[in-house]
Amino acid sequence: MFVPWSLTGDNHENMSWHDEYAGSHGFDEYDKTAGGIKRNMHNVNPYSNFVALQVTINYEEMSVQKTVKIVTTHVLYEMKLKGEKISMLTAYDYSMARILDEAGIDVILVGDSASNVMAGYDTTLPITLDNMIYHAASVVRGVKRALVVVDLPFGTYQGNSREALASAIRIMKETGASAVKLEGGREIVESIERIMSAGIPVMGHLGLTPQSIHKFGTYVVRARDEEEARKLKEDAKIIEKAGCFAIVLEKIPAALAGEVAESVRVPVIGIGAGRQVDGQVLVLHDMLGINMEFSPRFLRRYHNLYDEIKGAVNHYITDVRSGEFPSEKEQY
């Protein structure tokens, strides 16, 4: 794994590198190259195959020290152990991803919800693997420190573990992302294990799984009855054992989500799953108030960009039509 110099600055001579997990997590040495730092690993445990790298940069002429901590799967595991909540949001393009990364978000999910908020479809099913690769590559180019996870779209992993591996490899090779996310429990274990065998981290997703919307027939809260709740708890254990480094729980009772979070070692990130889990995820366009048509109980809108953008565009139209734009100062 390489960490580009561009993540840390240009003053190569005055850089000192520290890995707080070195030694105990399988690192032999660092090899400084023009392209970055090569990590040599041995006996890496399942939670440290992508280990946290803490970078310290000393600028002698400015007497400033800056620390950049790259978020990895192991960092998320450490956050759970320390009781630190994990923040995750979706992004689908370079510009938004760059803003989220600079704001300090822990995880960016390139979700198949792009099918809804970017392409205008009613469900997540129509989006293709090529579409997801396009969005994910755009996001990765805007990110320096956050963990980037990409949804495998519908039809690229269900029922065929070889196709699942091929899809995951394409995403990793063509986008530079850090991990993939799959929906489902015991029925996709073979796909999870085959992807993991190639060294690709997998995030799981249980509860309301939007790719199965036609099976459910509705977006109501899942696992309210005892049988479905029991199966969900079992599935969480199963996909953890299969190698998932984290699990998303969507739209299930808060108490059940808390039980699941307590029962597994890996981080559990909720969307409509209450506060007892290890982190939260929302769709960016919903959280910022760009998409105003979706208003579930679990959504908190932190802004109303729909009205702000509409107002700005109306103002622009008025200025153009009146001749107020461009002014004397806005021309050559």
Which SS3 state, helix, strand or coil, does residue 278 take? coil
Which SS3 state, helix, strand or coil, does residue 284 take? helix
Task: Clarify whether 193 is annotated catalytic.
Answer: no
One DSSP character per residue, 238-277 reads: HHHHHT-SEEEEES--HHHHHHHHHH-SS-EEEESS-SSS
Name 234's Cβ contacts closer than 8 Å, sequence gap at least 6: 185, 186
Other Cβ atoms less than 10 A from the Cβ of 40: the count is: 10
**To the nearest 5 percent, what fractions of the chain are helix, strand and coil?**
40, 20, 40
Out of 250, 262, 328, 330, the active site residue is 250
Compute CA distances 192 → 74, 108, 146, 173, 220, whole Å. 18, 20, 23, 18, 27
The 8-class DSSP code of residue 123 comes to S
* Residues 280 and 272: beta-carbon distance below 8 Å: no
Cα distance between residue 177 and residue 182, in whole Å: 15
Record the tokens describing residue 54, joined without a space.
């803490």
Record the tokens describing residue 57, joined without a space.
């940069």
Which is nearest to 143 in space by CA: 106, 113, 180, 111? 106
Which SS3 state, helix, strand or coil, does residue 214 take? helix
Cα distance between residue 277 and residue 261, in whole Å: 6
Residues recognised as catalytic: 250
